[in-house]
Chains A and B, each alone.
Chain A
Amino acid sequence: GAVVSQHPSRVICKSGTSVKIECRSLDFQATTMFWYRQFPKQSLMLMATSNEGSKATYEQGVEKDKFLINHASLTLSTLTVTSAHPEDSSFYICSAQPGLSYNEQFFGPGTRLTVL
């Protein structure tokens, strides 16, 4: 149980285009989902926290107009990188938490974004 999927696993896009990444909890309802960014050989950096039906909370330094997050249902959150540039190339990982009283996050397999 507690499986989280991400789609796509890899995406290559041209500079200036937008890319959408989906994060789904497959066998549980996730009241909260998190989006992380990981540069090569570095740790995970939290970008934002999203709660179903409300606006995402972004970490300091993360542009909310650049990284649009929508948590439309209890099993789906999406991250849209708008007007992508080469510096947005990175590994994006989502995680999902079943509930506020459940202090564990389950991670998706990640999405590698390459912006040409």
Chain B
Amino acid sequence: AQTVTQSQPEMSVQEAETVTLSCTYDTSESNYYLFWYKQPPSRQMILVIRQEAYKQQNATENRFSVNFQKAAKSFSLKISDSQLGDTAMYFCAFMTTGTASKLTFGTGTRLQVTL
């Protein structure tokens, strides 16, 4: 079974600064997908970024980038130039490939962006 660990229950960052959210996972699979989802107060799950395990290049989406270390089973999210609208819960998630493509979520990190 896969497990996803987010060791930071809460983080705070000032507007325009950079913050990194940590995520580690455990799996015996060789190919899989990793995701970061954002859940703002509206509780709508929003995909922030995704990484395919077979790709060595770290994914980037505008101000969001990941540091994917496959050997260490680490998948951190860096948010640059933080904005007030980034305030939300952030969930790291793991998905196996193939027919049983279930998402396994971490416990989440609550990020507060302050003025």
Please indicate the chain A residues that have their CB under 8 angstroms from the CB of B107 in the complex.
42-43
Main secondary structure of the interface of B (DSSP, over half): loop
- Indicate whether B103 reaches chain A with its CB closer than 8 angstroms: yes
Interface residues, chain A, with chain B CB atoms under 8 Å away:
32, 34, 38, 42-46, 49, 91, 93, 95, 97, 100, 103-105, 107, 109-110
B102 x A34 contact (CB < 8 A):
yes
Q: How large is the interface on B (under 10, 10 to 19, 20 to 34, 35 or more residues)?
A: 20 to 34
B44 x A110 contact (CB < 8 A):
yes
Main secondary structure of the interface of A (DSSP, over half): strand
> Could you pull out 5 A-B pairs where Cβ atoms are within 8 angstroms?
A46-B102, A97-B101, A104-B33, A105-B103, A110-B44
Contact of A34 among B33, B91, B103, B106 (CB under 8 A): B103
Given A107-B45, A109-B43, A110-B44: A44 in contact with B97 (beta carbons within 8 A): no
Please indicate the chain B residues that have their CB under 8 angstroms from the CB of A110 in the complex.
43-44
